[in-house]
Structure 1
Amino acid sequence: MIEPVPSPPNAMPRGPRVPTGLLALGLALWALLMAAWVSTAVFDRLPHVEDEVAFLFQARTFAAGHVVAPAPPEPSSFSIPFVIVRDGMWFGKYPPGYPLVLALGVLIDQPWLFNPIAGAVAIVLLYRAGRTLYSPGTGLLAAALLALSPFFLLQAGSFMSHVAGLIWALALLLLFARARSTGALLPAVAAGAAVGMLFLSRPLTAVGVGLPFALLAAVDFITGATGRRRALALAAGFLPFVALLLAYNAYTTGSPVRFGYELWWEYDRIGFGPDIGPRGHDLARGILNTRYNLDALRHLLYGWPERLTLLPAGIAVAVAALALLWHAAPLRRYVALVRRWPPARGSAPWGWDLLLAASVVSLVVVHIAYWTPGQMYGPRYYFEATGALALLTARGLLHLAGALAWALRQARLPARWSRPLAAGAVLVPVVVLSVSGLATDGVREFRAYHDWYDINGDGLRRVEAARLEHALVFVDAGYWTAYAPFFAQNSPALDGDIIYALDRGPARNQALAAHFPDRAVYRYADGQVTAVGP
């Protein structure tokens, strides 16, 4: 009888015990320092795209203890994309989940540092997920792959929401596994809360990531009392976040099912039709966007030659599919297999491979229904799948090492030599490819995003050098990008030491200044700060 392919941990060389936990912490520290460097050297610790400006504005609002800010006087003097004035309210167009956690960075007056710290947390969670589902070596390899990823470091150095989304996706995986292995209901509730936070931050992403978990929970619900309790606990953790998002929408847009996206662009919705997107959206356009994003993912995920990027993950999925066919035939045993699948590490690890692969595919597929490819700092709509992809990549690489070790043993090489030789033959080239990819493609991407949209902190440093106090500064800006770094410094209540407004001409400027009669008035133009009046 042919035995199924052994799990990758058996391919790892046996030797002195490696402190994988400490190594994982070292990788997390590396990720923190590198992402902080990207935030500083590449992005000048500033938001560079409309999304980031809106996120930071809403985070400042939440940090001040408010759901929305009061509408500013003379709203055109504070006009910036994706920040909406409606019915006396001032707020960002995005759901509130990510700004709620970004507010932690605002509270320590270092919002730029939030995502680098979140990136380090994600590396630790990825290691824990690999250790829990497979083995410490698998978790460590997956964490190393992601920590060296140019895609990961770009996102972790930005103000975008995706690194926090990755944390929620990994927390869902870990807590879901804990609930299935222990039978305890609290981890199931917490898993529901994790996907709930993802839903509160990025609803479509939550659907894509969470759909395979939801389907498995549905199988649980219909196949036994234990599974039913677990599924209900998962729903109990998730549904309050759905209610919170609906309430937030009702408060800000006037309808529970209307998002702020539509207040800015009425066509900014999910689906297909002539009224979706600026030029309509159909399946062909969605598939074209998908191909565009997948090409970018293969280029940027690890910095490897593009044909190699997804190959190890594909090997892991193929082996898992063969293992499923081996264990589950005949067909009538599938339901029984799912009910006991997989309770602990080392018990049918291919089951987790298939769940991770399903989550990746689901995330890709649901975004076909969105009209824009959304690329910014890489194919960002797929970023929350990078943890699953890193785990599958590690699994595939260890499968290759196991197969090579088997071949060496067939050639009469002793096991004490075949295992380390096989591991080295596979993993050393991977390390070389990853490091060289970061040093070449990664550095090239970092340079490309330096001063992106011509946004940098030079103007802010010139204003700081002028040592203004209790001032109103009118910024001469021909386009929103010239105003963005200044707007990002404003308190949403317009009660900070310096208020930055757009220069709208003498009449409008005078009308705004009348609302702040106790402030000195200045104008910033062409790199110069000029006093206008008392």
Structure 2
Amino acid sequence: MTDRLDRALTLGAALLLVAFGFFPVANWIPGGHEAPWYGPVAADLLTGLSISIGAGVVLAIASRHFGWLWREGALTPLGGRIGHDWSRTVAVVAAAAFIAYLIVAREVFDGRPLLIDEIIQVFQGRTLAAGHLWLPAAPHQEFFSSLHLVEQDGRVYGQFPVGGPAMLALGTLAGAEWLVGPVSAAIAVIAFGGLIRRVEPRPLVALAALLLFALAPFMVFMSGSHMNHVTALACLTVGMLGLVRSALGDTARFGDGLLAGLGFGLAATIRPVDAAAFALPAGIWLLWRAVTLRRLAPLIGAGIGVALPVVVLAWANLQTTGAPFRFGYSVLWGQAHNLGFHITPWGAAHTPARGLELLSLYFLRLQTYLFESAAPSLIPAVAALWFTKRLAPFDRYLLMASGLLAVLYFAYWHDGFYLGPRFLFPLLPVLAVWSARFLPALAMALGTGVVTRAAAFATIVAVGLGLATSLPLRTRQYREGMISLRWDPDRAAEGAGVRNALVFVRESWGAELVTRMWALGISRPDADAIYRAADPCRLELGLSALERGEMRGGAARNALLPLLADSARLMNAESITGDPSLRLTPGVEYAPACIAKLEANRAGFTLYPPLLLARKFGNVYARDLGGRDTLLLAQYPDRPLYLLKPASTRVGEPPRFVPLSRDSLLLAARSGR
């Protein structure tokens, strides 16, 4: 029975990786998500695979004539030394990986949060570091609103669970928020090193798994960011280490169970879905051992360990959202944000077909982002699973937990893509383990003849080609991306002598329209749906009328709903607007006010959310909302005024501080300009 279950697990996992990782399932389902890049990427990977296999075959044949190319058992002494001093090996690998993470954080990402998720979580972290769970809303909060910021009953806080920002708060207190990712990743490496040697008896295979886990480009790049996937993975690996010690140790210790529970519980405060995928199978395993072997202590310890962080999470939610298990994103986006098949916050339906499309995209992306090798990254894991017929207990756990994670994200509507398929980041342990077992599994099934030798040499060639070609390209892509978000407003303000000023930030016309809808009490989902469907000029004129009439909430939403009919006629006009999200209606003569907005848009705009983190020299950064700016002039009567906007429309052009005249602003507002 166990053998059949093991075979079902290995074959099922291998077939899942093949189906979603090698075939463009997303492109075969009409509508919804697609992978238009599949053809070129697949061609590149096939070319790299062909070169690697060809070189591998040549070297394998040559090794039969040149003994120095392949010596049976040459690495056995190294394995013995590694196995004897495993702790030192883990320390060396963790230290080397930590240095790599630091370099990426500083040299590739400039030590700055770049994605909106990172920015808002750093904002939350700073709020926590100041001793608050939320901040009081400003009298005119629309000037300071942002995507992912919740504004509820006079409170302002980020939408994310408290655990991730709490980790960043430690970085805030240390004066180095950018260190949180590298430190957390190093902890994950140490924990993984502690557990892999307990579940993998072959020292060289354990070392290979440790190296793949620690130095996979997906791991290295993500660990240099501010994303909460890194802190969550650190907690998950700590939880798995405690689980291994609890379930596979000679004694049933309360402390090991407590460690497992704390790891999974802390992960739940950061990324609840990821924690559920790994904690539920762990709990079932410990419960089974408690019932069959009378080992209650680890189960009790794990229960207490999980409960402690979750209680803190529930308390934090109660203080912010008003309910212990209601998260900020549910307040902001409603039930549409939750797992399941329903209408999404963007208005489209998430169906099982859309879920399959997303899984397809995730695993297809893993082929390149996981190892950045010249050949498909999933081949080693697939082959190892295919040739393996029996599993150790931890292997069963890891495959089941990883499968559950895939199922949960199958039921989630958002395409989580940043630095790779980030929702699959917790699969790094299972992929590292099975990739490391590739060559031993092949040797056990086919012997150490030409095929196994060719596979070994091909693997080395594929990795070498990736290091020489793909990895430098990816590094340059990340280093040169998101240029406008790397700009340091505090340093620029210091250079321009801007202190204790009120600085209006010139955003795009589209961002202004969305913000004005928020200010009228229109929910985030409704505002997004209206913006995507409405002609921007008709929306501009409609908002102006609503603002003059002081209509808000549901009445304002209902007044704008007829604009949804514009959707069928809108066309992409990025060449005119400078903004891909701002679509226009062809053949329509726009009002002068709209023409002025378009001209301002073409002249250049900047992004407001990064300014939420500007905290030096006493400056107040607020959105430029045209005539509504006079509301802040009255609130800040004695501050010098500036407009922050790019000097030109050139890509990457940094914003500059342009002095403003208070009298000119008041005159423009009175004249309706």
- Would you say same fold, with TM above 0.5? yes
Residues 57 and 92 of structure 1 are in contact (CA less than 8 Å); yes or no, is this contact kept in structure 2?
yes
Question: Which moved further from structure 2: 197-206 or 298-307?
Answer: 298-307
Residue of structure 2 aligned with 1:83, choices 126, 149, 156: 149
Q: Does 1:522 align with 2:642?
A: yes
Q: Does 1:486 align with 2:611?
A: yes
Looking at structure 2, the residues matched to 57 and 46 of structure 1 have their Cα atoms a distance apart, in angstroms, of: 12
Partner of 2:115: 49
Aligned-pair distance for 1:20?
A: 5.2
Residues 166 and 387 of structure 1 are in contact (CA less than 8 Å); yes or no, is this contact kept in structure 2?
no
Residue of structure 2 aligned with 1:299, choices 368, 373, 376: 368
Amino acid at match of 1:366: L
What's the secondary structure of 2:151's corresponding residue? strand
Structure 2, unmatched stretches of 5+, are 1-72, 512-605, 647-654, 663-673
Looking at structure 2, the residues matched to 472 and 274 of structure 1 have their Cα atoms a distance apart, in angstroms, of: 41
Looking at structure 2, the residues matched to 438 and 150 of structure 1 have their Cα atoms a distance apart, in angstroms, of: 10
Aligned-pair distance for 1:221?
A: 3.6
Amino acid at match of 1:96: V
Looking at structure 1, the residues matched to 462 and 87 of structure 2 have their Cα atoms a distance apart, in angstroms, of: 24
Partner of 1:396: 438
Looking at structure 1, the residues matched to 96 and 486 of structure 2 have their Cα atoms a distance apart, in angstroms, of: 26
Partner of 1:58: 124
Partner of 1:248: 316
Partner of 2:274: 205
Tell me the alpha carbon deviations over residues 346-370 of structure 1, each in whole angstroms, 9 at most, x when there is no partner. xxxx222222222221211111110
Looking at structure 2, the residues matched to 277 and 174 of structure 1 have their Cα atoms a distance apart, in angstroms, of: 39
Structure 1, unmatched stretches of 5+, are 1-9, 325-349, 412-421
Looking at structure 2, the residues matched to 195 and 274 of structure 1 have their Cα atoms a distance apart, in angstroms, of: 30
Amino acid at match of 2:106: T
- Assess, with a 3 A threshold, how the Cα gap between structure 1 residues 513 and 143 changes in structure 2: closer, same or farther: farther
Amino acid at match of 2:423: Y
- Assess, with a 3 A threshold, how the Cα gap between structure 1 residues 204 and 438 changes in structure 2: closer, same or farther: farther
What's the secondary structure of 1:455's corresponding residue? helix
Looking at structure 1, the residues matched to 260 and 506 of structure 2 have their Cα atoms a distance apart, in angstroms, of: 49
Aligned-pair distance for 1:269?
A: 1.1
Aligned-pair distance for 1:87?
A: 1.1
Q: Does 1:511 align with 2:631?
A: yes
Q: Does 1:14 align with 2:134?
A: no
Looking at structure 2, the residues matched to 435 and 119 of structure 1 have their Cα atoms a distance apart, in angstroms, of: 24
What's the secondary structure of 2:417's corresponding residue? coil
Count residues with an aligned counterpart: 479
Tell me the alpha carbon deviations over residues 244-287 of structure 1, each in whole angstroms, 9 at most, x when there is no partner. 33333232222333321122222211111346763121211111
Partner of 1:498: 619
- Assess, with a 3 A threshold, how the Cα gap between structure 1 residues 439 and 73 changes in structure 2: closer, same or farther: farther
Aligned-pair distance for 1:62?
A: 0.8
- Assess, with a 3 A threshold, how the Cα gap between structure 1 residues 81 and 446 changes in structure 2: closer, same or farther: farther
Residues 146 and 302 of structure 1 are in contact (CA less than 8 Å); yes or no, is this contact kept in structure 2?
no
Partner of 2:478: 449
Question: Which moved further from structure 2: 450-459 or 186-195?
Answer: 450-459
Aligned-pair distance for 1:170?
A: 0.8
Aligned-pair distance for 1:426?
A: 6.3
Looking at structure 2, the residues matched to 429 and 513 of structure 1 have their Cα atoms a distance apart, in angstroms, of: 67
Looking at structure 1, the residues matched to 467 and 494 of structure 2 have their Cα atoms a distance apart, in angstroms, of: 35
- Assess, with a 3 A threshold, how the Cα gap between structure 1 residues 257 and 123 changes in structure 2: closer, same or farther: closer
Looking at structure 2, the residues matched to 148 and 63 of structure 1 have their Cα atoms a distance apart, in angstroms, of: 31
Partner of 1:144: 211
Looking at structure 1, the residues matched to 460 and 88 of structure 2 have their Cα atoms a distance apart, in angstroms, of: 19
Partner of 1:3: none
Residues 11 and 402 of structure 1 are in contact (CA less than 8 Å); yes or no, is this contact kept in structure 2?
no
For residues 340-359 of structure 1, what are the structure 2 equivalents within 5 Å? 350-359=392-401
Residues 268 and 276 of structure 1 are in contact (CA less than 8 Å); yes or no, is this contact kept in structure 2?
yes
Q: Does 1:376 align with 2:496?
A: no
Residues 257 and 297 of structure 2 are in contact (CA less than 8 Å); yes or no, is this contact kept in structure 1?
no
Question: Which moved further from structure 2: 251-260 or 88-97?
Answer: 251-260
Which has the bigger relative contact order, CA under 8 A and spacing at least 6? 1
What's the secondary structure of 1:390's corresponding residue? helix
For residues 19-34 of structure 1, what are the structure 2 equivalents within 5 Å? 21-34=87-100
Aligned-pair distance for 1:318?
A: 4.5
- Assess, with a 3 A threshold, how the Cα gap between structure 1 residues 232 and 26 changes in structure 2: closer, same or farther: closer
Looking at structure 2, the residues matched to 30 and 464 of structure 1 have their Cα atoms a distance apart, in angstroms, of: 37
Q: Does 1:265 align with 2:333?
A: yes
- Assess, with a 3 A threshold, how the Cα gap between structure 1 residues 468 and 109 changes in structure 2: closer, same or farther: farther
Aligned-pair distance for 1:188?
A: 0.2
Residue of structure 1 aligned with 2:197, choices 131, 134, 140: 131
Looking at structure 1, the residues matched to 148 and 427 of structure 2 have their Cα atoms a distance apart, in angstroms, of: 26
Residues 303 and 433 of structure 1 are in contact (CA less than 8 Å); yes or no, is this contact kept in structure 2?
no
- Assess, with a 3 A threshold, how the Cα gap between structure 1 residues 26 and 521 changes in structure 2: closer, same or farther: farther
Aligned-pair distance for 1:476?
A: 2.0
Aligned-pair distance for 1:111?
A: 1.0
Aligned-pair distance for 1:378?
A: 0.7
- How big is the alpha-carbon RMSD for the aligned residues of Structure 1 and Structure 2? 3.0
Partner of 2:466: 437
What's the secondary structure of 2:622's corresponding residue? strand
Question: Which moved further from structure 2: 141-150 or 18-27?
Answer: 18-27
Looking at structure 2, the residues matched to 12 and 395 of structure 1 have their Cα atoms a distance apart, in angstroms, of: 15
Aligned-pair distance for 1:432?
A: 4.5
Question: Which moved further from structure 2: 150-159 or 93-102?
Answer: 150-159
Aligned-pair distance for 1:14?
A: 2.5
Looking at structure 2, the residues matched to 113 and 78 of structure 1 have their Cα atoms a distance apart, in angstroms, of: 27
Partner of 2:294: 225
Structure of higher CA gyration radius: 2
Tell me the alpha carbon deviations over residues 418-453 of structure 1, each in whole angstroms, 9 at most, x when there is no partner. xxxx8x976665455335324432333333334545
Aligned-pair distance for 1:61?
A: 0.7
- Assess, with a 3 A threshold, how the Cα gap between structure 1 residues 96 and 59 changes in structure 2: closer, same or farther: same
Looking at structure 2, the residues matched to 127 and 425 of structure 1 have their Cα atoms a distance apart, in angstroms, of: 29
Q: Does 1:360 align with 2:426?
A: no
- Assess, with a 3 A threshold, how the Cα gap between structure 1 residues 93 and 435 changes in structure 2: closer, same or farther: farther
Tell me the alpha carbon deviations over residues 141-173 of structure 1, each in whole angstroms, 9 at most, x when there is no partner. 123223332211221122111111111111111
Looking at structure 2, the residues matched to 314 and 355 of structure 1 have their Cα atoms a distance apart, in angstroms, of: 18
Looking at structure 1, the residues matched to 180 and 90 of structure 2 have their Cα atoms a distance apart, in angstroms, of: 20
Partner of 2:496: 466
Residue of structure 1 aligned with 2:102, choices 18, 30, 36: 36
- Assess, with a 3 A threshold, how the Cα gap between structure 1 residues 316 and 175 changes in structure 2: closer, same or farther: farther
Partner of 1:283: 352
